[in-house]
Chains A and B, each alone.
Chain A
Amino acid sequence: MLQLITFSTLNGVLYGMLLFMMASGLTLIFSMMGVLNFAHASFYMLGAYFGFEISRRIGFWPGFVLAPLLVGVIGALVERYGLRHLHRRGQVSELLFTFGLAFVIEELVQMIWGKLPVDYRVPPQLDFVAFRLFDTTYPAYRVFMLLIAIAMFAALLTVLTRTRVGLIIQAALTHPDMVAMLGHDVPKIFMLVFGAGAALAGLAGVIAGPALVTQPDMASLLGPILFVVIVVGGLGSLTGAFFASLLIGLVQTFAVAMNFSFAEVLGPVAPPFLGDLWKVTIAELAPVVPYLLLVLVLIFRPTGLMGRRES
């Protein structure tokens, strides 16, 4: 039991930090530009595929550096030549544009790399056991992922609170017009934030790709969870997104680990109407848990954990 708790906590925090690497960009983009970017998870997928492609040609580490940069540049171009022009037409066109973009990216990925998972591997330098606890081993690569996610979190926090660009971003969250009238190029800042958000998602893809599965539906599987995260956290709240990422990471990891059914815990006699559900294991219900959380939050706290207003 202690073993289950320790490893589930570790994995849950790791999964949560990965979610936050994507949710942070999504949240910043939403609160600055009012765009819910449906293609955000696609940037994560692109990161994984670019990482794979570069790693099989010149190695994992060049991919680790280049793939997120490449995804960031693509993100910046999407903002500059797509979203910026659509902004005048209103939010619906922007939403549809990112929605379409997600499909285009998925199709392209399938055309180039095929429908089956690609063989994106953990680099040999990190392919060993980091530690052993209660007779269970923990891979070094997961420790590496956790460290990268924490480093990114620290970097994001530093940039936002300690640098001039960070101040401009914070100010532009509430008063973009005033920021522009002080002489700052707000559209350029938007482009940078969009690019940086895409790069962060790309980095998440690069490091998650070898540990999870790199396949064309990885974006469409992750996308909904990301939305759950930012809604549960409170749309537009970075702190909220952070706690919601951890919460969902932990809840889902623990649910998966609970390989027993209600029947095993509470006795074989099911309450009326719950006959079949009683025999399902909690692990089997795990995929539903985030959405259950979403529904509960929307009912009891419609603004999300840290959201201040409904918009």
Chain B
Amino acid sequence: MRAPILEVLGLEAYYGKSHILHGVTFHVGEAEIVGLLGRNGVGRSTTIKAIMGDVPPRGSIRFRGEEIAGLKPHQTALKGLGYVPETRDIFPGLTVRQNLQLGEKAGKSSGRWAMDDMFRMFPQLEERADMRAGVLSGGEQQMLTICRTLMGDPDLVMIDEPTEGLSPMMVEHVGRLLEEIARRGVAILLIEQKLTIALKIAHRLYVMGHGKIVYEGTAADLATAADIRKEWLEV
């Protein structure tokens, strides 16, 4: 078993009065790809937002053994957690290059990734480096968001629905990128609903239902657990 880098224990979160997370418990190991699956609205995005500190969390969140629940989002990011939101949130008025520069953190020199690595993995980004990011296609924006977060040299990236709305070719490309990220020693928490790439690349999977983890296993385990898939995943 890999040494855990992120351990979440009994995580609860609210939006105003509505109770969304009812004690989420899971962990991610060093350089491990972990899938977090579940139907629409079960609270997967809320889980990552609570870990980042964007939604106030209750419960314990340990990153490299250190309690980080209650930190502000920028402090969490500086600890080494990266976040790629499902809304992508590129900075549309800035150029592709400027978007990538903003991923770098102040006072942190040369991590695992340089801008050239990004351009090598995604030549489209280099071609469009000096164009406004707002004119990129959906797929290119998705690559840009992932690359922007990598520029901050996180030890764990949490990626929310990266393949949503992408062409099959693009989906494959993103899948290969995620595997390369993990090969360089970065752990990945991958959120998916349609299981487009999670089954193929994740080392371990969790299934969420009603604000809790309802299943843990490998892709092979899940393939044989038809009841779980029927109850918690299939629509």
Contacts and interface: CB of A to CB of B under 8 A. Distances in A.
B77 A182 contact: yes
Contact of B89 (A167, A175, A186): A175
Nearest to B48: A181
B54 A170 contact: no
Contact of B74 (A167, A171, A184): A184
B183 interface: no
Interface of B: 52, 54, 72-74, 76-78, 83, 85, 89, 91-94, 98, 101-103, 105-106, 148-149, 152
A164 interface: yes
11 contacts: A170-B94, A177-B54, A178-B85, A178-B89, A180-B73, A181-B52, A181-B73, A181-B74, A181-B83, A182-B149, A184-B74
Nearest to A178: B89
A171 B94 contact: yes
Interface of A: 164, 167-168, 170-171, 174-175, 177-186
B77 A180 contact: yes
A178 B105 CA distance: 13
Contacts of A171: 91, 94, 102
Contacts of A170: 91, 93-94
A interface: dominant SS: helix
Nearest to A189: B74
A271 B148 CA distance: 67
A87 to B, nearest CB: 14
Contact of A181 (B54, B92, B94, B98): B54
A252 to B, nearest CB: 32
A185 B85 CA distance: 18
Contacts of A175: 89, 91
A78 B55 CA distance: 27
Contacts of B105: 182-184
B103 to A, nearest CB: 6
